[in-house]
Amino acid sequence: MSRVACATPGVKARFGQHGMMEYMTTVLGVYVAAQLLELLIWTPLLWRVRRYTAVVGLFAAFVSLIILVAYDGFSFLVAMLACVSIYRGLNLWRLIIGRMQVDYLWRATWRTSLWLLASTFVFLLLWWTLHELGLIASKFWVFFLILELITSVLLLITTLKHAESMKPNVISEGFAAKDLPTLTVAIPARNETDDLQIGLETLIKSTYPKLEILVLDDCSTVKRTPEIIRGFAQDGVRFLKGEPPKEGWLSKNQAYQSLLEAANGELVLFCGADVRFEPQTLTNIVTLMLRKNKSMMSIMPRNILPRFMQLDASLIQPMRYAWEVALPRKLFRRPPVLSTCWIAKRQVLLSAGGFSAVSRTIVPESYFARQTVRHDGYGFRYSSSEIGLTSDKDVMDQRDTATRTKYPQLHRRMELVFLLTLAELGALVMPFLFLIVGILNPYLSTVLALSAGTCAILLLWYLTVCAMTYRQPDIRSLLSLPFAALLDVALLNYSMLKYEFSVVLWKDRNVCIPVMRIEPKLPKLN
């Protein structure tokens, strides 16, 4: 592919073939200069007037991108540079509105700017390679498809490996009642109605011999919530009245801490109001935990399969579980966790500082999981029919949970959102686009073969994830993977925008502002 062939007709007509190299050099110079000048915003002198210099940076980024598009058209690599520019603009907008504390703002935006600048130079290097070295575009795309094929194989292998390790072994023999530890089931409830009613009805039927049930009403504005809890008093359910969140606390974490302090059990199981129990569920979970010699476990429940026409409800939850079971988390020292249902030794939680150590953390259970996994004390299992743990969360609750958790799980780093967005679109969506191109253009046999193989492996991977989510195959997974990936990307970026520029409501409370401040260092892991 020659330089002239890549330029737009208007540019060629004006400059001709002889002047294209000089023009390309000028275009690259203007674009690179705009990127580097942006870094001056974080110098001590310009930082004092950062709102004004950020506006200038936004304008420079926009103009430099327009010049690049005028030269090369809206090609794939230019589209990638445009994507980087969008995140650069969002990063500069953070400086303009200035929501965060100044020291946190400097650190967060400076780090994001460096990452995005590095990404820009990677794309510019590819762009220059295609133009200057005459690299044939088809060879580039073949290389890209081979990389996607390798990625899909690794996803499938990792997921199958984790699925095997997550199997709860058949509980052939339990413990005598006298050998079982005391257990407290702790449920924070706020503005709950039917879900809480049904969940408690299943819980009080438990056959566990040493059981305490605590439900905390977290200042509900719906009158029925405390009435439901008190209605189960004769069945042994203990009512706790919550307090408004204190300074520096997220309300859910404060509720967890109150439940932990009130618990009498040696083990404490935290769960949501949407969890359903079979009579033997608690006994089997504790037995599994004791036999595996774990001090903490998370249980992935069997989700209720949505009705066939509820496509949106079948897209969010499988992708949420996919990122817990598909990634090689041992490499990142980030064990998979779920807030739906998890159990831990009460003393382990207290020795780690309780929830006071993670009072502002959106997913506090991840902190305790990281601590216990260091000594092989953490386990992640999915619920089998024998364990009998299920969850019935409607689509609106799934969206709210995704909005609340996705951005904090990436440590509220905009550059990680950018990288994950590109990775997810490239790995899970683009193979299907290439497949369509290959079908419409039969002469692209290599593209067709590579994309078809990648799509087949990805569909098998997603079918495996959906089978783990619902404990049964879901035929919709053969058609819905690209849409599930697009929705997951949209929710990830929506979560980022809400945390950065708006409010994030959870149970009618804003959980955004406390999270966007500097957090004190957590206690060191033993």
User: Has residue 99 got a pLDDT over 80?
Assistant: yes
CA dist 20 and 357 (Å) reads 60
Provide the token pair at 412: 């509220």
Q: pLDDT-derived band of residue 27, with 50, 70 and 90 as boundaries?
A: low
Domain boundaries, the chain: 3-135, 166-301+340-393
Q: pLDDT-derived band of residue 35, with 50, 70 and 90 as boundaries?
A: confident
The predicted pLDDT at position 486 comes to 96
Q: What are phi and psi of 306, to 5 degrees?
A: -65, 160
Q: pLDDT-derived band of residue 140, with 50, 70 and 90 as boundaries?
A: confident
Among residues 110, 127, 97, which one has the least CA distance to residue 41? 110
The predicted pLDDT at position 380 comes to 94
Q: pLDDT-derived band of residue 281, with 50, 70 and 90 as boundaries?
A: very high
The predicted pLDDT at position 416 comes to 96
Please compute the mean of the pLDDT values over residues 364-388 and round it to a whole number. Answer: 92
526 or 328, higher pLDDT: 328
When the candidates are 3.20.20.450, 3.40.50.150, 1.10.1040.10, 3.90.550.10, the CATH number that belongs to 166-301+340-393 is 3.90.550.10
User: Has residue 484 got a pLDDT over 80?
Assistant: yes
CA dist 426 and 263 (Å) reads 47
CA dist 483 and 429 (Å) reads 8
Q: pLDDT-derived band of residue 131, with 50, 70 and 90 as boundaries?
A: low
For residue 331, CA distances in Å to 223, 366, 386 come to 47, 16, 32
The predicted pLDDT at position 158 comes to 94
121 or 265, higher pLDDT: 265
The predicted pLDDT at position 513 comes to 60
The predicted pLDDT at position 395 comes to 84
The predicted pLDDT at position 268 comes to 98
Amino acid at residue number 148: E
For residue 336, CA distances in Å to 112, 322, 332 come to 26, 10, 11
Residues shown for the chain: 526
